[in-house]
Structure 1
């Protein structure tokens, strides 16, 4: 599905929103069924026990018990989703170091580039942190204590780049990558992607263990997870193309971003030095290139990124204009 025009991006967002609502509703339904079924089993045992003592409770008591079970289950479910989001954000940042405290060559050049680009695009300058991995990574994320889905623009995001991304790129190519991340910030993609990811996290909460399923509820969780992944992919692919386009216009050099993408793709293939499944599954992060691993970064409908050739084709057309 190559919906790359502004209207196409709206279509992508609509499809993703519809998918997310359906998955979240399905996940909540499964949780309620589990809770109410457990409550009914408990009430049956309790009724038998009270029967031995010749105590009879009003019939209205048991529906109240079932309702309380459902309410408690929903509260615990929401808390588990919130915890998963915050844990994912913490995982993204736990190995990183502020740019000024790293051994990166000429960090002031990166700082000045981010400051200049942030002024051009009219967003607050975000802090920059460096991940020591040799695998190319660049993403924008929130701090663990930021609101899950913020309602204002007060929270300042964090841009993370890896040493493996900085080393192979020229100054102009690195500026193009930073412009791509700032475009995500300007487009409010962190908040939007979090909204789309929450139903996926909800579905995955129903299936804590990978592999074979032990009951019908885990089967439902797996099905809902697959549907949610498709929704995330449809949305994220459009946002990546939009960020590429904005970065090219921001820097005035589409060729620099195209060259950076090609170099990073080659470097990622040549240096699979880290198990990046955690990065791939982490919440509220949009990487410059898909990370290695299963799940959201797989090919096809569930891919979070368009094919590299599609992105290069768009950049070439912008350069030709």
Structure 2
């Protein structure tokens, strides 16, 4: 009887990938790949003579078109893999996530393992953010992780915590957590917070400037230009690099915004189905949303929307009123649907189940 009940529960919680969600997942992924293709094309175009020399020396029998197609494909796949790994690392480092061992939180691990079994997916790693602000998020990749704050565990009862964890497992099961993690890479490069010790403007201008200058080299203009002209073009590329990076990231930001509208609703419904208690998830959202208004202002510090976008609720984990944008341009991904609308839909779903 127990096994039969588990099989029935799994059937109920199979990924609810609506047609619109699938389209937006695909569109966001395509936007990320196209942005990477611009970088790969510029880089390989800049070193085209060297690539042709290698083809002649190593594989002269391979047609040039096939050689380039294989080379671009391999480089693109490698870049996407590195980008996902880097985006995941940057996201976790920005929130000071500490990976938990099962001995530290056996009850939490048991909850996640039980829910993952019902959802027919592998239990993810579990991370903890030491913050009184209640929230959670999931990051995808080869080693998916479900991250919770200490405040989340303290403020929710057992049913509410189960429902919230089920919501995050739905993100991982639907693969939208992986796509959203990948999509945070370019916006992270363009945010105001330092990464790897580099200030935002320098990091963005270096990355965007390298792409611009590689394009100029790929077009062959530098072959007949003087060293002075090349130096001026390189300097101009560096100055305009941040703008170029922003233009490159804009489609990813826009499509991530559209994707977020659907992925939260789908994960809410899937999480409510998995936990079997839609009202518990509605209660958790209401409780967590209300708690933000009562949180001391010094405990809230902005994460520039990049990490916030992955969270259950769009307030992130911390926000400091003393830290502002200072009038500087920042790409933001604050695109969660209204929490009140999510709560209303969950309560309508609960009424459907009861009737």
Q: Into which bin does the TM-score normalised by the smaller protein fall?
A: 0.5 to 0.7
Q: 1:41-76: CA deviations, max 9, x gaps?
A: xxxxxxxxxxxxxxxxxxxxxx726989xx9xx89x
Q: Once the 2 structures are TM-superposed, how far is the Cα of residue 264 of structure 1 from its aligned partner?
A: 1.0
- 1:12-161 alignment, distance < 5 Å: 12-28=24-40, 31-32=42-43, 36=46, 64=49, 78=79, 81=83, 84-85=86-87, 87-91=89-93, 94-96=96-98, 98=100, 107-141=105-139, 150=142, 155=143, 157-161=144-148
**Could you tell me which residue of structure 1 aligns to residue 200 of structure 2?**
209
What secondary structure sits across from 2:200 in the alignment? coil
Q: Once the 2 structures are TM-superposed, how far is the Cα of residue 119 of structure 1 from its aligned partner?
A: 1.7
Q: 1:71-107: CA deviations, max 9, x gaps?
A: 9xx89x94984673253155167442526565xxxx5
Matched pairs, number = 264
- 1:302-317 alignment, distance < 5 Å: 302-317=333-348
Q: 1:278-302: CA deviations, max 9, x gaps?
A: 7x4359x832111347867x5xxx4
Give the gaps of 5 or more residues in structure 2: 1-15, 54-70, 206-237, 320-324
- 1:217-232 alignment, distance < 5 Å: 217-232=241-256
TM-score, normalising length from structure 1? 0.66
Q: What is the distance in 2 between the residues matched to 1:85 and 1:246?
A: 26
- 1:162-173 alignment, distance < 5 Å: 162-173=149-160
RMSD of aligned alpha carbons: 4.0
Give the gaps of 5 or more residues in structure 1: 40-62, 143-148
Does structure 2 conserve the Cα–Cα contact (< 8 Å) formed by 1:23 and 1:200?
no
TM-score, normalising length from structure 2? 0.61
Q: Once the 2 structures are TM-superposed, how far is the Cα of residue 224 of structure 1 from its aligned partner?
A: 1.9
Q: 1:106-125: CA deviations, max 9, x gaps?
A: x5543332232122112223
Q: What is the distance in 1 between the residues matched to 2:335 and 2:17?
A: 18
**Could you tell me which residue of structure 2 aligns to residue 51 of structure 1?**
none
Q: 1:241-277: CA deviations, max 9, x gaps?
A: 2111101111121111111111111223332514241
Using a 3 Å threshold, how does the CA distance of structure 1 residues 97 and 192 change in structure 2: closer, same or farther? closer
**Could you tell me which residue of structure 1 aligns to residue 23 of structure 2?**
11
